[in-house]
Amino acid sequence: MGQLIAINDKNNGDFFYREAIKTLRANIQFAGRRRHIILITSVFSGEGKTDTSCHLAMEMAGAGKRVLLVDADIRNSSLVDRLEVAQTIVGLSEFLSGQVDTKEEIIYHTNQENLDIIFAGAYAPNSAEMFSDSQFEQLLKEEESNYDYIFVDSPPLGQVIDAAMIAQYCNGAIMIIESGAVSYRAAQKVKDQLERTGCTILGVVLNRVEGGGNTRYGGKYGKYGKYGKYGKYGHYGKYGKYGEEKMNAAEKEKPVG
């Protein structure tokens, strides 16, 4: 099943960031066996969602758990570039659009033991429709028995609705919030949207909190370069650019953290 690819984690963070990821991994394990398909989302882009998803998946795999990381941000994926994947890949968008016949063609084994990845694939403008189709739900259900944990890195829910569609098929969700960059009102809105899907919110990760000593990341947990705030919906690596999405200025009020 699947092909073998080499991935390179060039942004592994400082000591304090790595310890925070270990704590997050332990907390997820304590959440119980029923919480093993986990959505990871944020309010806006650039809050460290994908970095957290990658490092959490790697940490869990390093602890001996079978892990599948699903990049469901088919509007604005950065994972192929971030992990320095050299070969041409097909991904979730090709599978959900019928361009790829079997799920085995999009599941990639990696050079990290216990870690498999489904990449986002090419940009798709109708991603919300794709995730509302039963094919994505069926994919997760079929892989549920093959892995101890499935982590789904979704688009930021504060900007597009995709994460709410995906959350219906997950049994736990984690919100990533950049300290001082997101208003309470915006964070509360995302929380309410997740709760309406019926998916249990396991917790919130307050990212890039000041502290952790004098590091090359400016003393902030896991500050890796942003791929654009949601005034513009970012850069899509090898697949070209997305259209612009306007952020509601009224929701950039009193920041969290």
Quick one: pLDDT band at residue 133, thresholds 50, 70, 90?
confident
| Of 67, 98, 71, 91, residue with least CA distance to 82 | 71
**Rounded distance between C-alpha atoms, residue 46 and residue 102, angstroms:** 32
**Rounded distance between C-alpha atoms, residue 182 and residue 166, angstroms:** 22
Q: Map out the domains of the chain as residue ranges.
A: 3-251
What is the rounded average pLDDT for all residues in the chain? 82
* Proportion of the chain above pLDDT 90, given as a percent: 60
CB atoms within 10 A of CB 254: 9
- Sheet with 67-71, strands from edge to edge, namely 3-5, 107-110, 115-118, 67-71, 149-153, 37-42, 172-178, 201-207
Q: For 182-193, what is the mean pLDDT?
A: 92
| 54-106 per-position pLDDT tens digit | 999 999 999 999 999 999 999 889 899 989 998 889 999 999 999 999 999 99
Q: Show the tokens assigned to 232.
A: 């513009």
Radius of gyration of the chain (CA): 17
Task: Please tell me the pTM assigned to this model.
Answer: 0.81
Tell me if 49 sits within 8 A of 176, measured CB to CB. Answer: yes
Q: For 6-12, what is the mean pLDDT?
A: 83
CB atoms within 10 A of CB 27: 13
pLDDT at 218: 34
Strand-pairing partners, residue 151, are 38, 69
| 189-230 per-position pLDDT tens digit | 999 999 999 999 999 998 877 654 433 333 333 332 333 333
CATH class of segment(s) 3-251 = alpha beta
